[in-house]
């Protein structure tokens, strides 16, 4: 559609003809006078938010990914809304890095269109190293009507699989059918300056889910959803989460780990300067009974709570479905080991009277749990906060509520 072409498109066409003819290169390699920008407008998009543009996007992706360049850019301009059916942006790419610049808006089709195809993801980037996704565009998963009956599968809006050195920043993500962003199998990644929003009562709408990854930084995000703000699964190491404002939602979770007897490991997770506003949990570690592995070397520091329920919680008896709720059997007490967890500087208000809950298994327990500078008060007048403790050991200084099980 010539009226949708970028102003320089006609010049480029002339250039492409000359380039392919004189150098014997494929047109993709001659794209935009040897420069590196692949604009979706040059791939016959419609951009009306109604008709499907995924074929055009994938054609632009194939060109960008196949170009032999240091960096190739997939450019999604502002001013249009692109409806994309489920699409897989597959690597590895020929260019050493790929910049996806999202300034326009991207919307999902009706949720039925993809769940009926048994798809777990709407948009997935797979095996792309050196991928940057940035811009101020919006990604709308149209999930606001997604009920448990419709979302049989994971229903992840934007997924990254095996994308090393991923950088994701600037975008707004709304109404994920379930999780908004999911990262698995990636090392060296930064997620920053995102705004993620879904209704408070939308089930399973995690902000960011991450597992099987290492060397991760997540900073300066605002995440308001119906489930976990950030959920960390097994196989994680070296994660810094800084300046993330969570709420509503379920807070920052490590776990659930050890589901169905799985061996899961999480270590070196450091959460700094984060806030929980109106969340159902704050700093949370949860594991299923009968799992194995560990969650260790974890810290939460400088945390602000505003009317949050359950500000600090370790739960080694986590269970949501009867299938894996083996903890009902008293002798099944193996669990993912929780150790070396530090909570330092928690300020604000709790809406549950039991503000600190350490609930650990008889067999492995929780060890070296350190609480300091915990100044929590009830959101309600005349309520005194309490704590509870089962099989947890460690130390505490300057904390309210006090913890009998932790040494001063």
Ligand X SMILES: *[C@@H]1O[C@H](CO)[C@@H](O)[C@H](O)[C@H]1NC(C)=O
Which residue among the candidates 250, 264, 315, 340 is catalytic per the annotation? Answer: 250
In the complex with ligand X, which residue's Cβ is closer, 245 or 319?
Answer: 245
Residues 6+ apart with CB under 8 A from 322: none
In the complex with ligand X, which residue's Cβ is closer, 262 or 274?
Answer: 274
| Cis previous bond, 368, omega within 30 | no
Burial of 50 (0-12, 13-18, 19+ CB in 10 A): exposed
Buried b (16+ CB within 10 A) or exposed e, 10-44: eebeebbeebeeeeeeeebbbbbeeebbbbbbbbe
The CB-of-266 to ligand X minimum distance in angstroms stands at: 14
The CB-of-224 to ligand X minimum distance in angstroms stands at: 13
In the complex with ligand X, which residue's Cβ is closer, 197 or 243?
Answer: 243
Active site residue 209: no
Look up residue 380 and give its two tokens.
Answer: 């309600």
Report phi then psi at 174, rounded to 5: -130, 150
Active site residue 404: no
In the complex with ligand X, which residue's Cβ is closer, 5 or 270?
Answer: 270
The CB-of-172 to ligand X minimum distance in angstroms stands at: 16
Q: Where is 71: in which H helix or E strand? A: strand 71-76
Closest CA to 241 of 187, 301, 281: 301
In the complex with ligand X, which residue's Cβ is closer, 65 or 196?
Answer: 196
Per CB under 6 A, residues contacting ligand X are 142, 144-145, 215, 217, 238, 240, 243, 245, 270, 273, 275
Q: SS3 for 168-205, per residue?
A: EECCEEECCCCCCEEEECCEEEEEECCEEECCCCCCCC
The CB-of-401 to ligand X minimum distance in angstroms stands at: 25
Q: Determine contact, residues 254/298, Cβ cutoff 8 Å.
A: yes
Which residue among the candidates 227, 264, 315, 340 is catalytic per the annotation? Answer: 227
> What's the rounded Cα separation, in Å, for the pair 70 and 128?
14
The CB-of-244 to ligand X minimum distance in angstroms stands at: 7
Alpha helices in 240-398, H assignment, sequence order? none
Active site amino acids: 227, 250
């Amino acid at each position: 559609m010539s009226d949708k072409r970028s102003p320089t498109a006609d010049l480029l066409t002339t250039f492409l003809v000359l380039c392919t003819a004189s150098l014997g290169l494929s047109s993709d390699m001659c794209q935009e006078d040897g420069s590196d920008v692949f604009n979706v407008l040059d791939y016959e998009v419609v951009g009306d938010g109604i008709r499907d543009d995924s074929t055009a996007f994938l054609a632009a992706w194939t060109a960008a990914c196949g170009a032999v360049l240091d960096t190739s850019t997939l450019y999604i301009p502002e001013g249009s809304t692109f409806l994309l059916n489920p699409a897989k942006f597959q690597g590895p790419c020929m260019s050493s890095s790929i910049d996806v610049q999202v300034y326009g808006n991207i919307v999902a089709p009706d949720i039925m269109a993809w769940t009926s195809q048994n798809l777990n993801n709407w948009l997935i980037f797979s095996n792309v190293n050196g991928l940057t996704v940035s811009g101020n565009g919006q990604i709308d998963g149209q999930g606001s009507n997604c009920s448990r009956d419709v979302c049989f599968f994971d229903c992840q809006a934007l997924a990254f699989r095996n994308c090393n050195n991923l950088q994701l920043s600037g975008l707004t993500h709304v109404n994920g059918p379930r999780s908004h962003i999911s990262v698995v199998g990636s090392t060296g990644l930064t997620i920053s300056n995102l705004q993620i929003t879904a209704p408070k009562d939308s089930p399973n709408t995690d902000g960011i889910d991450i597992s099987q990854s290492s060397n991760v930084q997540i900073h300066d995000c605002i995440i308001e959803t119906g489930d976990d703000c950030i959920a960390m699964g097994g196989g994680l190491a070296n994660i810094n989460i800084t300046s993330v404002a969570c709420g509503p939602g379920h807070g920052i979770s490590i776990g659930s780990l050890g589901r169905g007897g799985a061996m899961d490991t999480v270590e070196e997770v450091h959460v700094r300067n984060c806030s929980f506003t109106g969340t159902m949990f704050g700093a949370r570690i949860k594991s299923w009974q009968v799992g194995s592995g560990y969650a260790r070397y974890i810290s939460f520091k400088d945390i602000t709570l505003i009317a949050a329920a359950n500000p600090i919680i370790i739960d080694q008896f986590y269970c949501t479905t009867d299938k894996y709720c083996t903890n009902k059997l008293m002798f099944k007490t193996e669990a993912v080991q929780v150790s070396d967890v530090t909570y330092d500087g928690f300020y604000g208000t709790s809406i549950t009277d039991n503000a600190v809950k350490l609930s650990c298994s008889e067999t492995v327990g929780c060890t070296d749990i350190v609480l300091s500078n915990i100044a929590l008060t009830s959101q309600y007048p005349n309520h005194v906060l309490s704590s509870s403790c089962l099989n947890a050991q460690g130390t505490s200084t300057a904390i309210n509520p006090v913890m009998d099980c932790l040494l001063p």
